[in-house]
Chains A and B, each alone.
Chain A
Amino acid sequence: MPLVSAVVADRRPLPALPRPAGPYRRAWWRFRRDRLAMGALALFALLAVVSFLGPLVIAIDPYQQDLRGSLLAPGDAGHLLGTDNFGRDVLLRLVDGGRVSMTVGLAAVSVSLAIGGLIGLFAGYFGGWTDRILMRIIDVKLAFPGILLALVIVTVLGSGLEKVMIAVGIGGIPRFARVVRGSVLNTKGELYVEAARSIGASDRRIMFVHLVPQVLGPVITIGTFGLATAILSTASLSFLGLGAQPPTAEWGLMLSEARRFIRIAWWLAVFPGLAIMLAVLTVNVIGDAVRDALDPRLQTAGD
């Protein structure tokens, strides 16, 4: 091949071909440019690391009572955020509460994802009566806005953190079901799905091998927002006395207990409130950026 060798006479190695970037790599590239979102992500990572590793590093027990050192103002006697009515360190309890909030939040989102995702997948893929019946069941959630469905479920199950997990998880099912169903409806008519079917792939294989990867993007987005909602709902239910029970260090419960001391110890109410706010705000900002990064077309004007 003289011609070619003449052209490539220069034997220096060619620059590496840029690997065709996959959709997630491109999304991450877009996400990285959003400075607010990167800040939020860093803050969230910090929160997660402190919540999960903190208790392993710090030797002091967040349940350790010290009645002589109760209701100390922030900064007193080495308690950075003060102590509560039992003399327990507020900062340590907040850290412990972060672990509770995140665990319950993630578990609740997993429940919504597993059940809602399957419902959406089946409804979208099989269509017809399966779709109609499944979606009518989902519609009933419409009648129970906000925290109401969780209240109903907690009424049936009784109070406690595990039950809140289930209740909040069930409350999130419709959102996942709808989004997954929508994506499946959009995708199942694609040529590659038809090709898979024509070589004899089973329904199960088409659904889980060929369709699931397609719905992953929107699922990640609503999963992120779902986590924010779950953290908020968990704290709300605990605040109402239906979630975590004393002496658990849970943010909503801490705020609820702080009400009795609001006139003498503002820090008991302010810091747990800030913690919930910060956690939820952070996750919401990340969710906004994830949505924009995964599907730039969805960006509304100026957002």
Chain B
Amino acid sequence: MAKFIAQRFVEAIPVVLLASLLVFAILHLIPGDPVDAMMGAAAFGVGTPEQRIALAEQIRDDLGLNDPLAIQYVRWLGNAVRGDLGQSYIQHQAVTKLILDRLPSTLELAGAAMLLSIVLGMSLGVIAAVKRSSPIDAAVMLFSLGGVSIPSFAFAILMILIFSVTLGLVPATGSGSFDRLILPALVLGYEGTGLIARLTRASLLEVMGLEYIRTARGKGLHPRTILRRHALRNALVPIVTIVGLQVGRLLAGSVIVETVFARQGIGQLAINAILAKDYPVVQGVILLTAVSYLVANLLVDVSYGYLNPKIRSA
């Protein structure tokens, strides 16, 4: 088992390196100079043009922007590994601090959405599989198709319209309290709920057709026991995969959901940084997302081995 984990870990390293290289390239392949952006209007009109050029050159030297790209990359990566993601051009703060300040809000949202999609998605999937080909089944399938077809921002606005504007049940925007978490979590979790429901249903139906389930039925076990103790356990492997993939979706989806609900989270930090061309922040957020996504998938791979001993030895 330890060997299996180690192997998966080693395999993930080149992907992380390539991803970080891509993220790094963003900053350095973009036309335009970060120093000009940093000096911005503040430096405008101060001193003679020659002095300004000299100052810009001085800053470039200080920041190491005149070094070869390869050296800059290694240095950036080295700092990133130690938790230093550089300085924001616009907010004049450490990127790490900006991210850490907003991380709890996003984790809260993503966690609530994940919990919702697992609990609701699996329940709906099991119900649909048990009541196969009934109107209930059709309703669940339609609901889950909506999850991948309804854009989160449209769904969010619809929710705000119904529950905040018309019914006045919950606040439309902001973060920090439970009633402000309900709508965003619902919106962010819908896509995952649909996917998990669909997959649970398909996976369960496949398992239910296998011989050992027939055996269990043959020896007179209660259908509920068969479902819980025999079928659901083996149906779990594909569900765990999609849960792992959800981590990435949730982080990417939070960009939109946080924008609509005006939540101070990582997603909103990223979108504002993109709009303001604050590249170190963009770099930092994307690197964080990429790494957490890969780690989540690593955990999923490891849990396969735990759920299914056959995979471990293969």
Known: A240-B255, A303-B202. A136 touches B154 (CB 8 A): no
Measured CB to CB, the nearest residue on chain A to B260 is A259
Give the Cβ gap from B226 to chain A, nearest Cβ, in Å.
17
Name 18 interchain pairs, CB-CB below 8 A, sorted by A: A140-B19, A143-B19, A143-B291, A143-B294, A144-B286, A145-B248, A152-B22, A155-B26, A155-B282, A156-B30, A235-B151, A252-B151, A270-B158, A273-B158, A276-B151, A277-B149, A301-B209, A302-B132
- CB neighbours (8 Å) of B290 from chain A are 143-144
Interface pair A302/B205, CB less than 8 Å apart? yes
Whether A301 lies near B294 (C-beta < 8 A) is no
Known: A145-B245, A228-B149, A263-B165. A255 touches B286 (CB 8 A): no
Interface status of B270 (Cβ within 8 A of chain A): yes
Given contacts A228-B149, A235-B153, A239-B151, 19 further A-B contacts (CB under 8 A): A140-B15, A143-B291, A143-B293, A143-B294, A144-B286, A144-B290, A145-B245, A146-B253, A147-B253, A151-B270, A242-B275, A255-B153, A262-B160, A281-B145, A285-B145, A300-B205, A300-B206, A302-B201, A303-B202
B70 at the interface (CB under 8 A from A): no
Please indicate which of the listed interface residues A144, A145, A266, A301 has the most CB atoms of chain B within 10 Å of its own CB: A145
Query: Is B270 touching A301 in the complex (CB atoms < 8 A)?
Result: no
CA of A218 to CA of B282 in the docked complex: distance in angstroms?
36
Q: Please name the residue on chain A nearest to B129 by beta carbon.
A: A302
User: How far, in angstroms, from A252 to B29 measured CA to CA in the complex?
Assistant: 29
Contact A252–B153 (Cβ < 8 Å): yes
CA distance A136 to B13 in the complex (A): 12
CB neighbours of B119 from chain A (8 A):
none
Which residues 214-273 in A have Cβ within 8 Å of B in the complex? Answer: 228, 232, 235-236, 239-242, 252, 255-256, 258-259, 262-263, 266, 269-270, 272-273
Check if A61 is an interface residue, CB within 8 A of chain B: no
Say which residue of A232, A285, A301 sits within 8 Å of B151 (CB atoms). A232
Count of interface residues, chain B, beta-carbon cutoff 8 Å: 56
Chain A residues within CB distance 8 Å of chain B? 136-137, 139-140, 142-148, 151-152, 154-156, 228, 232, 235-236, 239-242, 252, 255-256, 258-259, 262-263, 266, 269-270, 272-273, 276-277, 280-281, 284-285, 300-303
B275 contacts across to A, CB distance below 8 A = 241-242
B157 interface contact, C-beta 8 A: yes
Across the interface, B149 reaches (CB within 8 A) one of A152, A259, A270, A280, namely A280
- The 7 A-B residue pairs whose C-beta atoms are closest, nearest first, are A145-B248, A146-B252, A273-B154, A143-B290, A143-B19, A281-B149, A301-B205
**CB-nearest residue of chain B to A272:** B154
Q: Which of chain B's residues have a CB closer than 8 A to the CB of A154?
A: 274
A140 to B25, CA, bound (A): 14
> Whose C-beta in chain A lies nearest to the C-beta of B173?
A259
Least Cβ–Cβ distance between B206 and chain A, in angstroms: 5
Q: Given known contacts A136-B14, A143-B16, A302-B132, is B205 in contact with A270 (CB within 8 Å)?
A: no
Query: Which residues of B pack against A, CB within 8 Å?
Result: 14-16, 18-19, 22-23, 26, 29-30, 132-133, 145-146, 148-155, 157-158, 160-161, 165, 201-202, 205-206, 209, 245, 248-249, 251-253, 255-256, 259-260, 270-271, 274-275, 277, 279, 282, 286, 289-291, 293-294, 297
Other-chain contact of B22, A140, A145, A239 (Cβ < 8 Å): A140
A156 contacts across to B, CB distance below 8 A: 26, 29-30
| Cβ–Cβ < 8 Å partners of B209 in chain A | 301
- Contact check, A139 vs B18: say whether CB atoms are below 8 A apart: yes
Tell me the bound Cα distance from A193 to B206 in angstroms. 35
Q: A145, B133: Cβ atoms under 8 Å?
A: no
Report the minimal beta-carbon distance from B307 to chain A, rounded to whole angstroms. 20
A276–B256 CA distance with the chains assembled, in angstroms:
16
Asked if A277 contacts B26 (CB within 8 A), the reply is no
- Docked complex Cα distance between A137 and B29 (Å): 18
Q: Give every chain A residue within 8 A of B205 (Cβ-Cβ).
A: 300-302
| Chain A neighbourhood of B29, CB < 8 A | 156
Task: Give the docked Cα–Cα distance between A276 and B18 (Å).
Answer: 35
Task: Name which residue of chain A comes closest to B128, CB basis.
Answer: A302
Return the chain A residue nearest B152 by Cβ: A236
A259 to B256 alpha-carbon distance, docked (Å): 14
Nearest-Cβ distance from residue A74 to partner chain B, whole angstroms = 15
Write the nearest CB–CB distance from A262 to chain B, whole angstroms: 6
Contacts of B256 in A (CB 8 A): 147, 236, 239-240
Query: Of B150, B158, B160, B206, which is within 8 A of A301 by CB?
Result: B206
Q: In the complex the two chains form, what is the Cα distance from A266 to B282 in whole Å?
A: 34
Q: Nearest Cβ in chain B — how far from A243, in angstroms? A: 12
Measured CA separation A24–B163 after assembly (Å): 48
Minimum C-beta distance from B201 to chain A (A): 8
Query: Is the Cβ of B161 less than 8 Å from the Cβ of A300?
Result: no
- Chain A residue, CB-CB nearest to B158: A273
CA distance A228 to B147 in the complex (A): 13
Distance A226 CA – B44 CA, assembled complex (angstroms)? 47
Chain B residues with CB under 8 A of A146? 248-249, 252-253
- Of A252, A269, A301, the most chain B CB neighbours within 10 A belong to A301
**Chain B hits for A276, CB < 8 A:** 151, 154
Q: Among A228, A236, A281, point to the contact of B153 (Cβ < 8 A).
A: A236
Beta-carbon nearest neighbor of B162 in chain A: A266
B residues in contact with A241, CB < 8 Å: 275
